[in-house]
């Protein structure tokens, strides 16, 4: 599973489905806090979304999973900037759907408010 330097940290991510197809919707799946990681989506929604023709991007938030765990930078502003930097670094310029579970829903909502031109919609699950 790949890592990419975005917003000054190495971010761990996985893509499934037609991520490179500009005509396909793209869902960014944002996990919850503490012991959660992209694995919660990898083993649940990732494959069904991809099989339905939805490009899917899953990533570990800073301080989680295989993404860097810096000493600072744990504000909503940082999490939203990480997400946008990840999209930019992966050359994803179209608007995306953010699907966030628990804390990930809050990250998605904040990112949508801060970067409305980058977000097509937000789904919050138990946020």
Residue 22, CB-side half-sphere exposure with 13 Å CA sphere? 4
Quote the tokens at residue 116. Answer: 């409305």
Query: How many other C-beta atoms are found inside a 10 Å radius of the C-beta of residue 87?
Result: 21
pLDDT of residue 35: 82
| pLDDT-derived band at 44, boundaries 50, 70, 90 | confident
The pLDDT assigned to 19 comes to 94
Q: What is the pLDDT of residues 68-103, one digit of tens each?
A: 999 999 999 999 999 999 999 999 999 999 999 999
Averaged pLDDT score across all residues of the chain:
95
For the CA atoms of 80, 16, 20, 30, the dihedral, rounded to the nearest 10 degrees, stands at -10
Q: What is the pLDDT of residues 52-70, one digit of tens each?
A: 999 999 999 999 999 999 9
Binned at pLDDT 50, 70 and 90, residue 18 comes out as very high
Tokens describing residue 11: 């971010």
């Amino acid at each position: 599973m790949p890592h990419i330097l975005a917003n000054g940290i190495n971010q761990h991510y996985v893509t499934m489905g037609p991520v490179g197809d500009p005509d396909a919707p793209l869902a960014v799946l944002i996990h919850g806090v503490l012991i959660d990681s992209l694995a919660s989506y990898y083993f649940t929604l990732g494959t069904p979304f991809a099989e339905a023709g939805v490009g899917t991007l899953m990533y570990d938030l800073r301080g989680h999973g295989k993404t860097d765990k810096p000493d600072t930078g744990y504000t909503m502003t940082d999490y939203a900037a990480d997400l946008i930097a990840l999209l930019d670094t992966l050359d994803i310029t179209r608007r995306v759907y953010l699907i966030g579970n628990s804390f990930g829903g809050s990250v998605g909502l904040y990112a949508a408010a801060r970067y409305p031109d980058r977000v097509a919609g937000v789904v919050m699950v138990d946020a």
